[in-house]
């Protein structure tokens, strides 16, 4: 975002969410919305993440559990198909991985610096049911 | 009087007021707030401002106000409720005193930072400890860096007038800042005096309809109030806020002028009494201003002392140039501070000295701490102060201590002798 001088900033630090009127916003998907620069959607607010969820598309059953439970709308899902993680907003809380019901899990927490492709190539096998 | 109905909405009933009413300062506040037709008052009553809130709530229950009165659990919540309602887009006010004001402090900074034109009736009272319910200016002084416009009423008439003007000033589109109207606890707030009110229609039309700026209830334009800004943005927002506060002087003067043309009652950001030929002057706030004028008149008549009084009607933004101008021809000044200064000189001493330092004149200036916890400032006390500064004026230098306590029992207490 462009830095503005004191005479240019909005009085009272009142920040608009969208660049246009947003009466129908509820019917628009995020990528269709005209977010303002001052909207947190357009900024990374995940700088302090230590662990990140990695998503394995091959195991996912699109149950939407992670989407429902994510406290920061960082699970990207369209038409009930899970697309992945919004790493600009995910804080790494791990709730999505915790509530994932598949076996093995489709979401697993790794260190922030771990490489996603490497982690996906080492994904755990299905656990056998204990008798 | 029957309620008027307009488009199915129950309108507030109007009160027919007499040309001269007998009101105390709290009733003056409550009546002005009623006439302003506030959308939301969130308040937590506290002595001595309780009757302001009580009076307002009764007007509302009796159908004279079409608005909301929110009962809250503390003054912190009261000011928080005001911030929420003002951000939502309504005319908002509350009243408090002393400890209640102290509890509001955090939210006072939020209100001014968000540029919300809330009006706060502050009935001045001492701050504990020891606990005290009477009038001094400790609470007034506590709020002076909070970014609010601060105006002081010296009697009930002024409390009424300034409360009306407070809405018009704060809500002005070039200002949009919260406003505190001060009056002295008990001496003003509980003393019945003659007050000449405006009619309900005249008062409301003077203030005008509330003008919304960035209302949160405009769902077509969602906005964030109270954003976080760190070292890369915070400074610019605070600078813009300070500029608005400094620039509000003109709007304050304009509103005072408009009020004068309506009522023939004149207000100035710096009030001067008997100052045309004054050689010595007291600078004070609150009801003490009137006491000092009385003493000055007496000294002029009976002792030939050219005594005058200056009062900073507007405390924020501080009228630096005007107060220096008002005091430029005197030889000696006593600044009277009704608040324990906590290890330095009183606020008025510091600010008046600073203002004079920017001008050519160098009158001898001294500081008096008086009236804490509601202690009377008697005519004899004020005349002693004048006697002191007459000595300073004659000597052309400070021959009294720089800071003295007036009206205090025990050995004379003074500093920088």
Query: What is d(CA B150, CA A15) in angstroms, rounded to the nearest whole number?
Result: 27
The residue-averaged pLDDT of A91-95 equals 97
Partnered with residue B307 across adjacent β-strands are: B280
The residues, ordered by sequence, that sit 6+ positions from B303 with a Cβ below 8 Å of its Cβ are none
Question: To probe the interface with B, which of A2, A14, A28, A39 has the most B CB atoms within 10 Å?
Answer: A14
Residue B268 or residue A73, greater confidence: B268
Per-residue pLDDT of chain B (417 residues; tens, 9 = 90+): 334 445 555 579 999 999 999 999 999 999 999 999 999 999 999 999 999 999 999 999 999 999 999 999 999 999 999 999 999 999 999 999 999 999 999 999 999 999 999 999 999 999 999 999 999 999 999 999 999 999 999 999 999 999 999 999 999 999 999 999 999 999 999 999 999 999 999 999 999 999 999 999 999 999 999 999 999 999 999 999 999 999 999 999 999 999 999 999 999 999 999 999 999 999 999 999 999 999 999 999 999 999 999 999 999 999 999 999 999 999 999 999 999 999 999 999 999 999 999 999 999 999 999 999 999 999 999 999 999 999 999 999 999 999 999 999 999 999 998
From chain B, the residues in CB contact with A6 under 8 A are 235-237, 239-240, 243
Identify the burial level of A49 via C-beta atoms within 10 angstroms of its C-beta, where 0-12 means exposed, 13-18 middle and 19 or more buried: middle
Tell me the residues of A at the B interface, defined by beta carbons under 8 Å apart: 3-9, 11-18, 21-23, 25, 38
pLDDT of the residue at A81: 94
Contact between B97 and B47 under an 8 Å Cβ cutoff? The reply is yes
Q: Are B62 and B10 in contact (CB under 8 A)?
A: no
B271-415 topology per CATH: Rossmann fold (3.40.50)
Q: Which two tokens stand for residue B378?
A: 């008697």
CATH architecture of A45-125: 2-Layer Sandwich (3.30)
- B222, B227, B232 ranked by CB distance to A13: nearest: B227
Q: Please list every residue in chain B whose beta carbon sits closer than 8 Å to the beta carbon of residue A35.
A: none
- B300 neighbors B274 (Cβ within 8 angstroms): yes
Beta carbons of A11 and B241 less than 8 Å apart: yes
- B170, B223, B226, B242: which to substitute to probe chain A, counting the most A Cβ within 10 Å? B223
pLDDT of residue B4: 47
Of B115, B223, B235, the CB nearest to A15: B223
pLDDT at B3: 40
- Pairing verdict, β A107-111 and A51-55: antiparallel
- Return the SS3 of B412: coil
Q: Tell me which residue in A6, A23, A25 faces B236 most closely, judged by beta carbons.
A: A6
B284 three-state secondary structure: strand
| pLDDT value for B312 | 98
DSSP A18: B
Q: Do A38 and B214 touch (CB under 8 A)?
A: no
Chain B nearest CA to A23, separation (Å): 5
Cα separation, B190 vs B133, whole angstroms: 13
- Chain region(s) in chain A for CATH 3.30.70.20: 45-125
CATH architecture of residue range(s) B15-213+228-263: 3-Layer(aba) Sandwich (3.40)
- d(C-alpha B153, C-alpha B311), whole Å: 10
Strand blocks (E) in B2-88: 5-6, 9-10, 21-23, 40-43, 68-71
Q: How many CA atoms lie within 13 Å of B384's alpha carbon, on the beta-carbon side?
A: 13
Is A16 within 8 Å of B223 when comparing Cβ atoms?
A: yes
Contacts of B177 in chain A (CB under 8 A): none
Q: Which band of pLDDT confidence, cut at 50, 70 and 90, is reported for residue A87?
A: very high
Q: Which of B224, B237, B240 sits opposite A17 (nearest CB)?
A: B224
Given an 8 Å threshold on Cβ–Cβ distance, is A16 in contact with B221? yes
Give B-chain residues touching A21 at CB under 8 angstroms. 220-221
Alpha-carbon distance of B117 to B330, in angstroms, equals 38
Q: Which residue of A has its CA nearest to B231?
A: A3
Q: Which of B219, B223, B244 sits opposite A14 (nearest CB)?
A: B223
pLDDT tier at A129, thresholds 50, 70, 90 = confident
Of A28, A98, A112, give the one whose Cα is nearest residue A69: A98
β-strand pairing of B364-370 with B403-406: parallel
Mutation test of the interface with chain B: which of A1, A4, A10, A13, choosing the one with the most B Cβ atoms within 10 A?
A13
Predicted confidence band of residue A45 (pLDDT cuts 50, 70, 90) = confident
Q: Which of B114, B223, B237 sits opposite A17 (nearest CB)?
A: B223
How far is the alpha carbon of A62 from chain B, nearest alpha carbon, in Å?
32
Taking CA atoms, A4 is separated from A1, A9, A37, A40, in Å, by: 9, 6, 13, 18
**Min Cα separation B176/chain A (Å):** 9
Distance CA B367, CA B350 (A): 9
Q: What is the pLDDT of residue B323?
A: 98
Interface contact flag, A14 B239, Cβ < 8 Å: no
Would you state the pLDDT for residue B121?
Answer: 98
Please give, rounded to a whole number of angstroms, the shortest distance from the CA of B297 to a CA of chain A. 47
> In the numeric block, which tokens belong to residue B2?
């029957």
H runs (alpha helix) in A62-114: 65-69, 95-99
pLDDT value for A21:
83
Is B225 within 8 Å of A7 when comparing Cβ atoms?
Answer: no
Q: What is the ipTM of this complex?
A: 0.88
Q: How far is CA B81 from CA A63, B112, B167, in A?
A: 42, 14, 18
Show me where the domains of chain B are located.
15-213+228-263, 271-415
Residue of chain A with shortest Cα separation from B224: A15
pTM for the predicted model, two decimal places:
0.92
B113 and chain A in contact, CB less than 8 A: yes
* Separation CA B60–CA B85 (nearest Å): 17
For tokens 């369209």, the residue is A78
């Amino acid at each position: 975002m462009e830095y503005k001088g004191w005479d240019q900033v909005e009085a009272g630090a009142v920040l608009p969410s969208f660049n246009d009127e947003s009466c129908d916003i509820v019917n628009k998907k995020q990528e269709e919305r005209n977010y303002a620069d001052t909207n947190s959607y357009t900024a990374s607010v995940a700088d302090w993440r230590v662990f990140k969820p990695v998503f394995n598309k091959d195991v996912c059953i699109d149950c939407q559990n992670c989407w429902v439970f994510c406290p920061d709308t960082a699970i990207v899902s369209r038409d009930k198909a899970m697309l992945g993680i919004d790493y600009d907003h995910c804080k790494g809380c791990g709730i999505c991985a915790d509530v994932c019901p598949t076996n093995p899990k489709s979401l697993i927490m790794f260190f922030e610096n771990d490489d996603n492709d490497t982690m996906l190539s080492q994904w755990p096998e299905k656990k056998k049911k204990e008798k | 009087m029957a309620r008027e109905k307009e488009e199915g909405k129950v309108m507030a009933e109007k009160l027919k007021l007499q040309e001269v009413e007998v009101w105390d300062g709290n009733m003056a506040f409550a009546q002005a707030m009623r006439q302003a037709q506030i959308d939301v008052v969130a308040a937590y009553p506290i002595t001595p401002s309780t009757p302001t809130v009580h009076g307002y709530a009764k007007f509302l229950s009796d159908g004279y106000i079409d608005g909301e009165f929110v009962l809250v659990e503390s003054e912190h919540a009261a000011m928080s409720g005001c911030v929420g309602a003002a951000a939502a887009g309504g005319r908002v006010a509350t009243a408090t005193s002393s400890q209640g004001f102290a509890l509001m402090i955090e939210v006072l900074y939020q209100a001014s930072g968000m540029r919300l034109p809330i009006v706060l009736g502050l009935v001045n009272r001492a701050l504990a400890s020891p606990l005290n319910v009477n009038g001094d200016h400790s609470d007034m002084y506590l709020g002076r860096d909070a970014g609010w416009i601060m105006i002081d009423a010296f009697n009930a008439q002024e409390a009424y007038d300034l409360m009306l003007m407070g809405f018009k000033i704060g809500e002005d589109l070039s200002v949009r800042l919260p406003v505190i109207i001060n009056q002295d606890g008990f001496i003003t707030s509980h003393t019945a005096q003659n007050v000449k009110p405006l009619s309900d229609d005249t008062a409301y039309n003077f203030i005008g309809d509330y003008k919304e700026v960035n209302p949160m209830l405009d769902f077509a334009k969602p906005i964030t109030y109270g954003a976080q800004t760190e070292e890369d943005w915070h400074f610019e927002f605070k600078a813009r806020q300070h500029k608005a506060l400094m620039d509000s002087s003109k709007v304050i003067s304009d509103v005072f002028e408009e009020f004068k043309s309506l009522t023939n009652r004149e207000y100035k950001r710096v009030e001067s009494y008997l100052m045309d030929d004054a050689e010595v002057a007291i600078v004070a706030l609150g009801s003490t201003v009137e006491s000092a004028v009385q003493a000055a008149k007496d000294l002029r008549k009976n002792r030939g002392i050219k005594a005058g009084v200056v009062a900073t009607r507007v405390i924020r933004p501080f009228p630096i140039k005007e107060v220096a101008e008002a005091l430029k021809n005197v030889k000696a000044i006593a600044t009277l501070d009704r608040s324990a200064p906590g290890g330095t000189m009183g606020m008025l001493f510091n600010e008046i000295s600073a203002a004079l330092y920017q001008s050519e004149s160098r009158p001898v200036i001294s500081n008096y701490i008086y009236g804490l916890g509601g202690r009377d400032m008697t005519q004899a006390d004020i005349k002693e102060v004048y006697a002191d500064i007459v000595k300073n004026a004659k000597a052309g230098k400070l021959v009294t201590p720089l800071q003295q306590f007036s009206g205090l029992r025990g050995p004379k207490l003074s500093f920088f002798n």
